[in-house]
Amino acid sequence: MLGRGTYHRAPMSVWGRRDFVRIGSASLLGLNVWDLARLSPVHAAGPPKQNACILIWLMGGPPQQDMWDMKPDAPHEYRGLFKPIPTNVPGIQISEHLPRTAKVMDKFAIIRSMTGKTAQHEPAQDYVLSGYPPLASLAYPSMGSVVAKEKGGRDGLPPYVAIAKPGYAYGPGFLGAAYNAFAAGDPNEANYRVRDIRLPTDVDWDQASDRRFLLKKLDGVFLKDPSVHNADTEGEFAAVDDAYVKAVDLVSSAKAQKAFQISEEPNRIREMYGRTPMGQGCLLARRLVEAGTRFVTVTTGMNVWDLHVRNFDMLQNDLLPSFDMSFAALLTDLADRGMLDSTLVIANGEFGRTPKVNAAGGRDHWPKVWSCAMAGAGIRGGQIYGASDANAGEVKDKPVQVEDYTATVYNLLGIDYSKEYETPIGRPVRISNGKHINLS
């Protein structure tokens, strides 16, 4: 899956170098060349700061007033059924169904004044994951793709990984397929194994080396032909060639192989995170970041937080227990390993939910205000940034626009968000048009 905004190559009128590669050397590792393009790109030299990011993507829009921003004094039809509980930081309360998270409040901050522009899932997801409202004429890169471009991978690890499945809004936009997310699947599955990180059973390293030698020879012949240079107007040949190099790095890297082997984790740690897609996804994210991946997105399904009906039942019996265990375990584990200072952890969705409970016992889409939790990478834990009004329906203090949120993420990762890229038609686009907020 190449994701949204991926540019497809134009058909060639002759049987050229790329066709040879697809038939012969394209099978270097027994994998499709265009799938390999997502593994790890050539990257520009990044800043010295080496922070990584784990984004827990609560797709569908989690309810701020039932998790992070309780309103116990609001009328019943607004405050809902849940009660607030104290955290380990005096004066801060969160939902009663986040008891483990309440015990690690000192490790993270809550932004209670996020605000957006659209109440539709797809454009809102594009917006929050890229920092730009979507346009029909241009697909903007997601934050993970930008981080992949700016920081690249280490030790054969793909720089950008999506757990369990990448969605359309996770994509590289105009940056191209080389900066797409590597799909890691669901690590909670029995006998979990990641595709594309081992040689096929009918290919050994002698064969792989022979095919790499053939590819090099083909490069030497075809790249001397000026018509080939002229045909590669979008740099696809170079991008795909690099994909092969990175694919070989991945399948030959012992560190990369080990990072994906979640079964090596002690049973105590796996149980601490929870035997759920969210829990094991967060655990795999920690392993990947520890090994060298720069950006990991963890999600558990398409719009599972879209709670138009049975909001309280779904939260209490399904969504919040899993999230609570996973989020608290991740922060605790990172802190215990000395990794929290260098790992940005985010729990966010594309918008919030309506202040008033609807007739079906649910809450509908609400982009005017919602909450986001952020930890690590220099963020001071145990703080609340911004505020909503009495019913959690409007921003009351310190609004954080989506552009400011993405600028803050980049700033915490050591990326200059004022840097400009060029689109394929030469249009300059800043990494982010916002201004970062101070959470230190």
pLDDT tens digits for 158-205? 999 999 877 878 999 999 999 999 999 999 999 999 876 655 555 554
Sort 430 into a burial class: Cβ within 10 Å, 0-12 / 13-18 / 19+.
middle
Give one word for 4, left, alpha or beta, with left for phi > 0 and alpha for psi -120 to 50.
Answer: beta
**Nearest 10 degrees: Cα torsion 147, 153, 157, 160:** 10
- What's the rounded mean pLDDT across residues 364-384? 98
Beta strands 387-388 and 395-397, pairing class = antiparallel
| Closest listed residue to residue 183, CA positions, set 39, 55, 290, 48 | 39
- CA–CA distance from 432 to each of 29, 141, 385 (Å)? 37, 11, 21
- What's the rounded mean pLDDT across residues 396-410? 98
> In the chain, what percentage of residues exceed pLDDT 70?
76
Task: Give the pLDDT score at 4.
Answer: 43
| Closest listed residue to residue 297, CA positions, set 343, 346, 336, 260 | 346
- What's the rounded mean pLDDT across residues 385-407? 98
Give one word for 301, left, alpha or beta, with left for phi > 0 and alpha for psi -120 to 50.
Answer: left
Q: What is the CB neighbour count within 10 angstroms for residue 439?
A: 19
Per DSSP, 423 falls in state -
> CB of 70 within 8 A of CB of 91?
no
Structurally, at CATH architecture level, domain 30-206+258-430 sits in 3-Layer(aba) Sandwich (3.40)
Task: Give the pLDDT score at 399.
Answer: 98
Q: What is the CB neighbour count within 10 angstroms for residue 173?
A: 27
- What's the rounded mean pLDDT across residues 301-322? 97
Beta-strand ranges (E) seen in 170-239 are: 182-183
Each domain of the chain, given as residue ranges in start order, spans 30-206+258-430
SS3 422: strand
Q: Mean pLDDT of all residues in the chain?
A: 85
| Closest listed residue to residue 293, CA positions, set 158, 180, 423, 404 | 158
74 pLDDT more than 60? yes
Q: How far is C-alpha 71 from the geometric centre of its chain's CA atoms?
A: 30
SS3 162: strand
- CA dist 330 and 127 (Å) reads 26
- What's the rounded mean pLDDT across residues 121-143? 97
24 pLDDT more than 90? no
Per DSSP, 276 falls in state S
Task: Give the pLDDT score at 168.
Answer: 79
- Give pTM, 2 decimals: 0.82
> In the chain, what percentage of residues exceed pLDDT 90?
71
- Check residues 195 and 432 and name the one with the higher pLDDT: 432
Give the side-chain half-sphere CA count within 13 A for 407.
15
Task: Give the pLDDT score at 26.
Answer: 39
Q: Which amino acid, 129?
A: L
Task: Give the pLDDT score at 216.
Answer: 58
> CB of 101 within 8 A of CB of 322?
no
| Closest listed residue to residue 111, CA positions, set 307, 399, 364 | 399
- Check residues 219 and 109 and name the one with the higher pLDDT: 109
Task: Give the pLDDT score at 253.
Answer: 72
Task: Give the pLDDT score at 155.
Answer: 87
For the four alpha carbons of 173, 175, 177 and 183, in that order, the dihedral sign comes to: negative
- CA dist 198 and 208 (Å) reads 12
**Nearest 10 degrees: Cα torsion 332, 334, 324, 189:** -130
Task: Give the pLDDT score at 254.
Answer: 82
Task: Give residues with Cβ within 8 angstroms of 161, minimum separation 6.
Answer: 181, 182, 183, 184, 285, 288, 293, 295, 296, 297
Task: Give the pLDDT score at 153.
Answer: 85
Beta strands 365-366 and 352-353, pairing class = antiparallel
402 pLDDT more than 80? yes
- CA dist 307 and 311 (Å) reads 5
| Each residue's pLDDT tens digit, 312-362 | 999 999 999 999 999 999 999 999 999 999 999 999 999 999 999 999 999
Task: Give the pLDDT score at 218.
Answer: 56
Label residue 86 by pLDDT band (50, 70, 90). Answer: very high
Q: What is the CB neighbour count within 10 angstroms for residue 412?
A: 21
